[in-house]
Amino acid sequence: MGLLSKKDSKLILDPLADNNPITIQVLGICSALAITAQLKPSIVMAISVIFVLGVGNVIISLMRNIIPSKIRIIVQLIVVATLVIIVDQVLKAFAYELSKELSVFIGLIITNCIIMGRFEAFALGNGPWKSFLDGVGNALGYGIILIIVGFFRELLGSGTLFGFKVLGDPVEKTFLYSIGYENNGFMVLPPMALIVVGIIIWVQRSRNRALIEEN
Amino acid sequence: MAINTEKNSYTVVFAIIMVLVVGSLLAGLANGFKPLIKANERYEKQQNILYAMGVHENEGPNDVVFIPTDRVEAEFAKYIKKQYVIQGDKVIEDDQAYLIDIKKEANKAKDGNYQRRLPLFVGEKDGEEIYVMPVRGKGLWDAIWGFVAVDKTMTIKGVYFDHKGETPGLGAEIKQRYFMDDFTGEKFLDGGAFEGITVAKGNNDPKNEDKSDGEVDALAGATITGDGLTAMLKKDVKLYVDYFKKLN
């Protein structure tokens, strides 16, 4: 990475694995379980969060010296809400079909704890460029988990990926279904997202023992 | 000059300015996009009505492909011959009938003195008259709605369903092709009486070959959405029965 200094690239790369917002900090679990029943909404959600968190971090960082500390949480909330409304309106005007598919999910970005968490913990104390990298990095870390969970839930729950029947047709009994394979309906339900996230956490910590908390 | 951001007066001024800036930004944005969004909603309605009566661009067996937005207005004018507003015994022709908000009409009708206006679209496809009715009801989480196309004996020619927030993979499947296609051929009238169509579990007819039972196969894991859909069809389509009885 010639473009970024070592410190800067750490800002992007760290949240992808060893400081992942979902698996290490356990933030943003609520949306991770709500929207990951299928792969496509997971990906669009990831992209939207990258936009909102990247831009939001820059805005907060630019305003960090003039925000009154007593109302800083409210100010942060207004920034997120504004960005989310802009995303929502732009989608409605220019990508109507997509916005219909995502209706509630876009609004859910406001409640994503990762965003407020990064504003409060990073953007308030760092410059705009660093904040931008941090925002994008954390959103990517969040997005990766979303996509992994969405992949397994759609594949095992519905036997499809992006709506394509990759495991054969369950009604016609082709391919895997012809030898007795069945879809696992549990995977479509929200609690299974937690179990998949749990498995990811387990795998991650068993590969990197430094991540295991003591006590 | 360093600003003292701790002072109360500063906090209040900051809050006021922030609200003004954000408020006008969003208001301007909403106003600027309003015509685009309204047009999108209108196209969507036209697409849905045409889809229900079988005017679409489906190719593969799982496709749900509407007429593209740039052509939908012309196609709508071509296929939909007449639009009626039914109010009690009166039937008025109105080429804006598809813009009637049936949710508002249903709410107004609750007070009893109001005769609700029912839009009905008469289309023609392959030389046959098709009648399209809008329906609206409740799913598990939020509203579900759709359009039902029938011939004059109230046998279904096609349907289109949509929802606001049903569970992806479960209730949200009502807008999948395999579910909607099951309705084609089912009859709302059994003999002379209105029976409705039931989304039924355990009717032992997963491919829906029996078109005389008034039942379609339910979606596993979406009981409430299915029941809501049954109720929606029973309640809203029933409003049109008198009109159809006069036709025959």
DSSP per position, A112-181: -HHHHHHHHHTGGGS-HHHHHHHHHHHHHHHHHHHHHHHHHHHHHHHS-BTTB-TT--TTTT-GGGGGT-
Residue B26's H or E segment, with its range, is helix B8-52
Q: Look at B37 and A171 and tell me if their CB atoms are within 8 Å.
A: no
Residue A3 has pLDDT above 70, yes or no: no
Exposure letters A107-125 (e unless 16+ CB within 10 A, then b): ebbbebebbbbbbeebbbe
Average pLDDT over residues B130-135: 94
Q: Say whether B40 and A96 touch across the interface (CB within 8 A).
A: yes
Q: What is the pLDDT, as a whole number, of residue B229?
A: 93
Task: Please name the member of B18, B37, B167 whose beta carbon is closest to the beta carbon of A75.
Answer: B18
B168 to chain A nearest CA, in Å?
A: 6
Give the other-Cβ count within 10 Å of B201's Cβ: 13
Cross-chain Cβ contact B10/A93 below 8 Å: no
Which pLDDT score, from 0 to 100, does residue A2 have? 56
* C-alpha distance from residue B214 to each of B153, B165, B183, B199, B209 (Å): 14, 27, 9, 9, 11
> Residue A151's pLDDT band (boundaries 50, 70, 90)?
very high
Contact residues, chain A to chain B, C-beta under 8 Å: 35, 37-38, 41, 65-71, 74-75, 78, 82, 85-86, 89-90, 92-94, 96, 100, 103-104, 154, 157-158, 163, 171, 185, 188
Query: To the nearest whole angstrom, how far is the Cα of B5 from the nearest Cα of chain A?
Result: 5
Q: Is the pLDDT of residue A1 over 50?
A: no
Residue B157 reports pLDDT greater than 80:
yes
**Residue keyed to tokens 């004996």:** B153
Question: Which residues have CB under 8 Å from A48's CB, separation 6+?
Answer: A87, A102, A106, A109
A178 vs A182: CA distance, rounded Å: 10
Q: If you average pLDDT over every residue of chain B, what do you get? A: 87
State residue B2's pLDDT score.
60
Q: Provide the pLDDT for residue A137.
A: 93
Q: Is the pLDDT of residue A6 over 60?
A: yes
CA atoms of B83 and B122, how far apart (whole Å): 6
Convert the pLDDT of each residue in B187-222 to its tens digit: 888 777 888 888 888 777 777 777 777 888 888 888
| pLDDT above 70: residue A111 | yes
Q: What is the interface size between A and B, counted as CB pairs within 8 Å?
A: 76
Q: What is the mean pLDDT of residues A127-134?
A: 92
Of the candidates A17, A11, A46, the residue with the CA atom closest to the CA atom of residue A200: A17
Cα distance from A108 to chain B (closest Cα, Å)? 13
Instruction: Spell out which residues of chain A touch residue B1, defining contact as CB-CB under 8 Å.
Output: none
Q: pLDDT band at residue B158, thresholds of 50, 70 and 90? A: very high
In percent, the amount of chain A with pLDDT more than 70 equals 97
Highest mean pLDDT among A32-36, B198-202, B237-241: B237-241
Whole-number Å distance between alpha carbons of B79 and B152: 17
Of A36-50, A137-151, A163-177, B93-107, highest mean pLDDT: A137-151
- Residue B26, pLDDT > 90, answer yes
Residues B48, B159 contacting (CB under 8 angstroms): no
The least confident of A65-79, B101-115, B172-186, B199-213 is B199-213
Average pLDDT over residues A31-58: 87
B4 CA: distance to closest CA in chain A (Å): 9
Spell out a b/e string for B67-102, using b for 16 or more CB atoms within 10 Å of the CB, else e. Answer: bebeebeebbeebbeebbbbeeeeeeeeeebbebeb
Chain-chain contact of A92 with B11 (C-beta, under 8 angstroms): no
Q: Please enumerate residues of B whose Cβ is less than 8 A from a Cβ of A.
A: 3, 5-6, 10-11, 14-15, 18-19, 22, 25-26, 29-30, 33, 36-37, 40, 43-44, 62, 164-165, 167-170, 178, 206-207, 220-221
Q: Quote the pLDDT of residue B247.
A: 80
Residue in B closest to A35 by C-alpha = B168
Residue position matching structure tokens 């339910």: B218
pLDDT at A44 over 70: yes
C-beta atoms of A85 and B26 within 8 A: yes
Q: B215-217 and B198-200 as β-strands: parallel, antiparallel, unpaired? A: parallel
Of A41, A86, A163, the CB nearest to B29: A86
Tokens matching residue A174: 């082709």
Burial B170-200 (b: 16+ CB within 10 A, else e): bbbbbbeeebbbbbbbbbbbeeeebbbbbbb
The domain locations on chain A are: 35-156
Chain B, nearest residue to A187 by Cα = B169
State which residue of chain A sits closest to B178, comparing Cα positions.
A171
How far apart are the C-alpha atoms of A63 and A61, rounded to whole Å? 5
